[in-house]
Amino acid sequence: MKLVLYSTEGGTPRVGYIEDGEIRPLDGASMLEYVEQDQSKMQASGKTVPLSEVQLHAPIVWPAKIICIGLNYEDHAAETGREIPEKPVVFAKYPNTIIGPGKAIRIPPITGQVDYEAELVVVIGRTAKNVPEEEALKYVFGYTNGNDVSSRDLQFSEGGQWTRSKSLDTFAPIGPYIVTRDEVPDPQSLSIRCVLNGEVVQDGTTSKMIFSVAELITFLSTGMTLVPGDVIFTGTPAGVGFVRNPELFMQPGDEVTVEIEGLDALTNPVEAE
């Protein structure tokens, strides 16, 4: 099932699911109302709406936690000159960063080196604490595209400020919808790309993750309770802008797209704040 948060003609956002190019509305205005529900019990409520006639929003708008994993692809660690981590590198973003498809990534005056990072995003569906790896994927509600937008000048000029440099407003686009777990039987076999102004700048596969989705859930849930609606950015493959020669950063007027197999595409324009 592909679940969306959408609105029509500027109205109040509501939840629906996509079927045959149309959205079938569900009762409720928050995706979290459905995260723990049995899909078989979800009933359409109201008239269907063509997907082409709606505005899509970020499917999760105010998660309790946005957990991010750094250096989780071998090729990305190699291109940055870093050692392969022995344990997941964890940092955070904050809910002010979340935007949906079509919304602008806004570059504030404090940064001039804004980088893209295409990532598979996991949405937690059950309260998880001390989860064994063989059970971990059962705690996933679904998956979506994400862009871990990063201010490299802030990141490297302030003593390695990963959280600050990645938590500026609009720096976590996600969407366009959540694909439920049953439609992604193996999250470690998905192609993942980033396209900037029509040029493919990242082209990888989730099979190259150092720590799998299941391993990440096990690691994070040891000592930290994950709750329904938490999102996990699982890392990015090689091709980021700051390691290129010459460097490649997003500029006002650009358009950036994250494409993950089976999850459609997340596209955002870039503008000055």
Q: What is the pTM of this model?
A: 0.95
- Homologous superfamily of 66-272 in CATH? Fumarylacetoacetase-like, C-terminal domain (3.90.850.10)
Nearby residues of 221 by Cβ (< 8 Å), 6 or more positions away: 128, 129, 130, 131, 136, 139
pLDDT in tens, 217-233: 999 999 999 999 999 99
Q: What is the pLDDT of residue 37?
A: 65
Q: Which of 146, 145, 149, 119 is nearest to 250 (CA)?
A: 149
Class of domain 2-57: mainly beta
User: For position 161, what pLDDT does the model report?
Assistant: 75
pLDDT in tens, 78-95: 888 888 899 999 999 999
Domains of the chain, residue spans: 2-57, 66-272
Task: Judge contact between 164 and 154, C-beta under 8 A.
Answer: yes
155-166 pLDDT per residue, tens:
988 777 788 999
Residue position matching structure tokens 């190019």: 21
